[in-house]
Each structure stands twice: as C-alpha cells, then as structure tokens.
Amino acid sequence: MRLAVALLLTMSLAGCGAGESGPDEQAAEVSSLEQAAIDAGVIPDVRKVTLSGAFERQSDLGTDSFCAVGNDENGYQVGMIAVFGPDSKCEGMGEAERDGENVRITLNSEEKCSFTARFDGVELKMPGALPDSCASYCSPRAGFNGVSFYMIGEGDAVARSTSGRDFDNLCPAP
C-alpha cells in the first residue's frame, strides 16, 4: 500500500514546476519527491538505466518483443515485433537514439519509419499515431501504434536472444 501511495504521489507531482526551466534543464533535474522515490527503489532513475536489453508484453494474441543493442553514446540497433494473432503482426529492424526518456526509433528494413517513443526505465511506449510508412512493417489491420513493452532483461547478450517471425534474431550480433 505504501508503495502504491508513493508511486501515486510521484506521478501526480511529476508535472509540478513544469515550465519553470527549459527542456534540457528539466531532463537533468529531479524533484526531491522523485529523488526520494528513486532512492526508495519505487521508480528507476531513467538517467542511469540503459535501453540495451530485451523487452516484452504478453497477451492472448501472442508475445510482443523489442530489443536494443548498443548504448546512449553510439546509438542502438533495434528490432521489434507486435503480434495480433497467428497470421497478423508488425515486425521490423532499425536504429534508435536515446535522449533521456525520449527514444527516436527509425525502422529501415522496409520503408523508412521514424517516430519518438517514451522510455521510463521500465516501459517503452510507442506513440498512438505513427507515420503512414510504418504500415509497410505490418500485415493488414495490424500496427505498432500505441504498443508498449516492459524490460525483462538488461544488456546486449539478452537482447541478442530476441527472436521474431521473419527474422531469426531481431538484434543480431554485428
């Protein structure tokens, strides 16, 4: 219960003080309440968490997967699949750059598809609206729009074990 209250307070106060500093300063600053939640282990410190690793989300339709190999300084090689049943899916590979909670993903194994996702240290969320070119990665009535993934393992080695349907390995070794 205390964990839920601390998380609720952190989320409700996260917007306090917005607009008082520029976006770069906000990315570097952490409120005292947010720092207390980080220190207590309630939320991760997104400034210290890497995107490198394997992410998943399971549903009755299948397992959605995302992987990232690399680091914040040199960028990441990424792969992702969203499953909507046995014959319906989106799957692609590309690159990503991370700036705080923003992850700029560019899929380039079909038509070039670029968008900015959000990463809070645990969950990676795709935006609800994506460019039309992103449909080239999907079967009819499927889309990456609004898909989210949860980190299940950190590091390049874990990421390289992520498989897809069309790609044996979504994040192959260089």
Residue-level pLDDT, tens digit, the chain, 174 residues: 444 444 444 445 444 444 444 443 444 566 787 667 656 655 555 666 789 999 999 988 889 999 999 998 999 999 999 999 888 999 999 999 999 899 999 999 889 999 999 998 889 999 999 999 999 999 998 999 999 999 999 999 999 999 898 888 999 876
What local confidence, expressed as pLDDT, does residue 70 receive? 94
DSSP state of 90: E
Contact 66, 149 (CB under 8 A): yes
List CB contacts of 164: < 8 A, sequence separation 6 or more. Answer: 65, 79, 81, 91, 170
What local confidence, expressed as pLDDT, does residue 139 receive? 95
What local confidence, expressed as pLDDT, does residue 39 receive? 67
What local confidence, expressed as pLDDT, does residue 133 receive? 96
What local confidence, expressed as pLDDT, does residue 4 receive? 45
Residue with tokens 């989300």: 57
Q: What is the pTM of this model?
A: 0.75
